[in-house]
């Protein structure tokens, strides 16, 4: 079974090596290909990837001008090879939990009718390259909205389509909501899939832009449900009612 890991990166020189390493640990059990789109980094991210790829032929680097993460994700979608069985995403400053990829792909291989495996995320405040041994707060482990906690059949991603390039933040929220509106057959896991890094340079540190992007994605979901009440419910995945306070906060004067 071949797993394709799609990585949009921008100025991730500090952490990109650790992110790639978390994928390569699964090579003993999986046929893994990593496709990285460097979105016009101004640091030496691309050079680090090129150096790693000299000894790791499973890595393919695509360099583009800086067009934003939505464009980078669409370039990655267009680059999925035809022989790929499963797809996941990883940002350049995050890392997969040890053993996650192997377990999730084994579950997907055991049931060809499954369209995705969706786990949980653990948020970790860390400036260290390796996060595996960092302290973990159980309150910061949740099944939330993230492309990287999912493993997808390529056909499902093709059905959802492209990322909305008008989003500068929240493009992943918009995509995940559109995906689950289709009602795919999913295996929902209570195990940690992703170590989600918060650090001084995180894009989510721009809290206002993050909130605006999230609110816009959620409002798009609400509009689509009004137009088509037959869209699948999110119940059991994540509660839209629990996400609503963020939207209400955005509407407040």
Residue in this structure with the two tokens 């939990």, named with its chain if needed: 97
| Residue 121: pLDDT over 50 | yes
Q: Distance (Å, rounded) from C-alpha 110 to C-alpha 66?
A: 40
| Residue 216: pLDDT over 70 | yes
Q: Distance (Å, rounded) from C-alpha 115 to C-alpha 153?
A: 5
Reported as a pLDDT band with limits 50, 70 and 90, residue 206 is low
| Residue 246: pLDDT over 50 | no
Reported as a pLDDT band with limits 50, 70 and 90, residue 241 is low
| Residue 159: pLDDT over 80 | yes
Q: Distance (Å, rounded) from C-alpha 44 to C-alpha 16?
A: 10
Arithmetic mean of pLDDT, 30-57 = 96
Determine the topology of domain 2-251 in CATH: Spore Coat Polysaccharide Biosynthesis Protein SpsA; Chain A (3.90.550)
Arithmetic mean of pLDDT, 67-96 = 96
Tens of pLDDT, residues 177-203: 999 999 999 999 999 999 998 866 655
Other Cβ atoms less than 10 A from the Cβ of 50: the count is 15
Is beta strand 150-152 parallel, antiparallel or unpaired with respect to 86-89?
A: antiparallel
**CA–centroid distance for 248 within its chain:** 26
* pTM for the whole structure: 0.90
Mean pLDDT of the chain: 89
pLDDT value, residue 144: 87
Arithmetic mean of pLDDT, 215-223 = 93
pLDDT value, residue 248: 39
pLDDT value, residue 123: 87
Domain boundaries defined on the chain: 2-251
The pLDDT > 90 percentage for the chain reads: 75
């Amino acid at each position: 079974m071949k797993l394709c890991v799609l990585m949009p990166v921008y100025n991730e020189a500090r952490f990109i090596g650790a992110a790639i390493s978390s994928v390569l640990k699964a090579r003993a059990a999986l046929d893994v290909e990593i496709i990285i789109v460097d979105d016009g980094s101004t640091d030496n991210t691309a050079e680090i990837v090129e150096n790693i790829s000299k000894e790791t032929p499973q890595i393919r680097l695509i360099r583009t001008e800086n067009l934003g993460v939505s464009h980078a994700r669409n370039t990655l979608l267009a680059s999925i090879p035809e022989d790929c069985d499963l797809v996941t995403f990883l940002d350049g400053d995050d890392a997969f939990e040890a053993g996650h990829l192997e377990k999730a792909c084994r579950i997907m291989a055991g049931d060809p009718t499954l369209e995705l495996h969706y786990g949980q995320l653990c948020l970790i405040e860390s400036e260290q390259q390796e996060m595996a041994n960092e302290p973990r707060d159980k309150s910061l482990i949740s099944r939330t909205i993230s492309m990287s906690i999912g493993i997808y059949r390529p056909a499902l991603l093709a059905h959802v389509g492209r990322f909305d390039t008008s989003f500068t933040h929240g493009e992943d929220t918009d995509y995940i909501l559109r995906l689950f509106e289709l009602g795919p057959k999913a295996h929902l896991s209570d195990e940690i899939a992703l170590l989600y890094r918060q650090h001084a340079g995180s894009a989510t540190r721009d809290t206002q832009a993050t909130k605006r992007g999230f609110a816009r994605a959620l409002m798009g979901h609400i509009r689509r449900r009004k137009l088509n009440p037959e869209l699948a419910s999110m119940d059991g995945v994540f509660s839209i009612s629990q996400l609503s306070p963020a939207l209400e906060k955005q509407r407040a004067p």
